[in-house]
Amino acid sequence: MDQTTLTAQFASTFHQQPARLVHAPGRVNLIGEHTDYNGGFVFPAAINFGTWIAASTRDDRQIDAVAVDFDNQRNQFSLDAIEFDEQQGWANYVRGVIKMLQHDFPQIGGANLMITGNVPQGAGLSSSASFEIAVLKAFSDLYDLNLDGVKAALLGQKAENDFVGCSCGIMDQLISAMGEEGQGMLLDCESLTFEHSNLPDDLDIVIINSNVKRGLVDSEYNLRRQQCEEAAAAMQVKSLRHADLPLLEACRDNMSDPVYRRARHIITENQRTVDTFRSLREGDIAAVSKAMAESHASMRDDFEITVKPIDYLVEIVSQVVGNKGGVRMTGGGFGGCVVALVPKNLVSEVTNTVNKFYHSETGLKQTIYVCSAEKGAFS
């Protein structure tokens, strides 16, 4: 839905023009997987898929939210009685965010909200964080709040952790809030400091959804977190961010082989993420290509979160781009997407290759998104 249509639908529903129209992007993580909850580094980019909200203030303390993408479902509640909604799951992102926002900004009043988005659901491109940041941006603009992008990201994360009940890290919300056009963000998940690096103009971000049905994500994700904590305890460090390979080797006898390999992935992935940031700044795409390949191999062999269709996608894309770009699995694992940095003149060849071979090899039908790096809601 374009902005003109959203504005017209808002006016038809609420009998007034929206006072504000805001947008928050989704994201893809270019490198740095499972490092976020270990206090490490990630390197995401905000992408040209996101959430749009048309909004206006109200004279009372009611929130009236309409979800265009859920058949215009309507959810109404009072700022004085924000409770979990068992019937309309999408509404809990609105409710949770506003509940957290109220703690810090009790002066906010009611609002009419009309929400739509085009972040592919279930593709690991963070539709939920985009949704949360868009709601926060709408209220920030409507009520002229002194709310910066880092604070907004923390509120969005808290809403998802404490109200919705998903234990996500900070990366998704922060890149949605603070991304920059044409750039990736090196984020230190411990200090919440970040730097940006230009992505080469001649490379596109290509995201390929494997459409593998993910059955093990929650249980395996929690197990990986436990194993990382176990490794940190065995090395007597606060988190794996503070471990290195010599320390890991010295403490190897104190942990099981799976725990050792989980830690090895995190330690090496942190270094690869920092190295990728530097290589991009220096224009060394061959080094970026190598780091992304090593990241995928580490996720496959040490962290054990890839599946065969994902490995196959990485293999066939890598054969096309070589060291002129890079490709790896992105996201939590056990399905989901691969992300590739692809020279613009090779995008059609990558697309044709995947269309030709992926279905016949796996029986699955992929979805391909060609993306650009975009500005965050609070940038």
> What are the residue numbers of the active site?
172
**If residue 9 lies in a helix (H) or strand (E), which one and from where to where?**
helix 3-14
Overall residue count recorded for the chain in this entry: 379
Residue-wise over 132-162: b if at least 16 C-beta within 10 A, else e? bbbbbbbbbbbeebebebbbbbbbbbbbbee
CA angle 20, 22, 25 (to 5 degrees): 180
Integer CA distances (angstroms), 209 to 32, 59, 83, 314, 373, in order: 18, 44, 34, 12, 18
**DSSP for residue 199:** P
In b/e form, how buried is each residue of 204-226, taking b as 16+ CB within 10 angstroms? Answer: bbbbbbbbbebeebeebbeebee
Q: Is 131 left (phi over 0), alpha (psi -120 to 50) or beta?
A: alpha
- Helices (DSSP H) in 84-148: which residue ranges? 91-104, 127-142
